[in-house]
Chains A and B, each alone.
Chain A
Amino acid sequence: MHSLKAVTPLGASAPVVDEINGFTMREVVDRALVSVAARKGQDKAVAKILAKLIDAPTPQAGHFGGAMTKSKSAAIWMAPAQWMLDAPMKSRDDITTSLAAEFGGKASLTDQSDAWCRFEITGPQIDRLCSLLCAVDPRRLTAGCATRSSIEHIGAFLVRLGRTKLHVIGPRSSAASLHHAITTAMTSSVY
C-alpha cells in the first residue's frame, strides 16, 4: 500500500457536505469513471459487453443506464459509440486492467476517475436549482437522463438519478468554482 494520501477535488481530506435551504450537496469521491470508446466496427460488441457490466440496456443519447449504487455500475452516454462507465471505486489501480480483460481490445479505455469532480445534490427543489444553474429544461431532465450543459461557463454533466437527486460532474480543476456556483444557487433558490 502506498503512502500517499488522496484529497477530494475541493482539496479536503473528506468529502465536503453543504446543507442549504433544504438541499444537501455532497462531494462524491467513491465512484470510478472510465471512458469506453468502441474501436472501429466494434460498436455493437462493446455495447453488449457494457450492458452486461451495468446489468441494464446500454444507454442511448441523453441518458445513463444501470445504477450508481455501492455495488452496481452505470454507464453514461457521451458520444456515438462512447460511454463513461461509472463504477464503485475500489482500488483505482485495477479498474482499467480488469476492464481491459472484459473488453478484449474491442474498446479504448481511459481512466477518467480523477479528471472530474462530482457533487450529489438532494432536495425537493432540484428543478428550481437547475433553472438557476444551466439552460437544461428541468422538465425534460427526468430520472435516467444525463446531459451536458454549461454552469457559469464550466462544462458539466448533469445526471438525474431521481426527482430529488442530481449528480453534477464537472472538471476537477474547477471544482471550487463549480461548488461556489451551486451553493450560491442553492442559497438563492428560495423563490
Chain B
Amino acid sequence: MGIKLFKEPELEKPDLICGWPGIGNIGLITVDTLKGALKAEEFGEIEPCDFFYPRKVSIKDGLLESLEFPSNKFYYKKLEKRDLIFFIGEEQPTEGERVYAAGEKAYHMASLVSDVAEKFGCRRVYTSGACVSLVHHTMKPRVISVVSSEKLIEEVKGHPNTVLISEVGGGKGEGVITGLNGLLLAVAKRRGLESICLMGEIPDWFSRAPLPYPKASKSVLEVFADIFGIEIDFTVLDKMLVQIEDIVEGVYRGFPPEIKERYDERKLIAHPEPGGITEEDAKRIKEHIDEFFKKGGKEGGEESS
C-alpha cells in the first residue's frame, strides 16, 4: 500500500506543484487549472485505502463493479524552462472531526508525496492555498508567500503581485498554514528540498462561505505563469469567476449599511491594516454569511493575517 506509478517519465530536475482542497479551494483550483492548461499526463497515484473512506459504489445486475475513493494523482509535463510534476489530492486525510489533515495520516501522505519528489530528483516543492485577509472583494487578490529559506525571499518578491507573509495586514510573518498545503512544505524542507507556498488572498468574511474563490486562484496562476514562462488560458476560470462574483455581490448587498460603509473603507487603502471593521462587525457579517448559506463555516483557516 502506498505509491503506484504507471510509468516513470524521464524528468530533468522537476518542480513539484501540489494542491489539496481548502478555504475557497484556492490551491486545488490553481493546481488543477495549471495541470489542465499544460495538458499534463497522469503517471501515478497514492493508493487511497489507507487514507480515505470509499464514497461511491457501483453495482450492476448483481455485480459489484467498482468502489470509488477520493483520488490522489501524480501528473507530469516537460516544459522548455522546467519539467513539472503535479500532485492533486481530492481530499485531505483527516483523523476525527477535523476538516484539514493532521496527525499520523497527514504526515504519511506528505511523506509519500515527498518520496515521489525525491525519486524524480525534484529541486523544489510548491503548494498553494488561501490567505484570509482584509482585502475588499472588488480588489485584485495578492499572492502571499511563505518560503523555506532566506535565499528564496528575493526570488518570490520578484514575481508580480506577490508579497511575503510578513508584509500583510500588520502581521509579523508568523502564523500557521494548516493542512497538507503547509505540512508538505515542512516534510520537503526536512529532506533538503526548497519549498514555497503561494496563497491567494480571500476576504475574511467570504472565507467562511462553502464556495470556491477563483479570483484568488487566478492571481496565483498568474504568478505560476511568470515563474515558468508560460501562457495560461483563463476562459474556463473566468466563467467560474463571474458566477462567484455574482454570489459575492449578493451577500455583500445584504450587509447592514453601517458595516458596508466601514467595509468599503478597505477599498480606499491599498492594503488595509487590521481595523475599520470592528470585532462586533465581523461577528455580524459572519452570522450573515452563515445564514446566507444556511450552513456553518469551516474550521479555522489555512493562514490568517
**A and B: partners?**
no
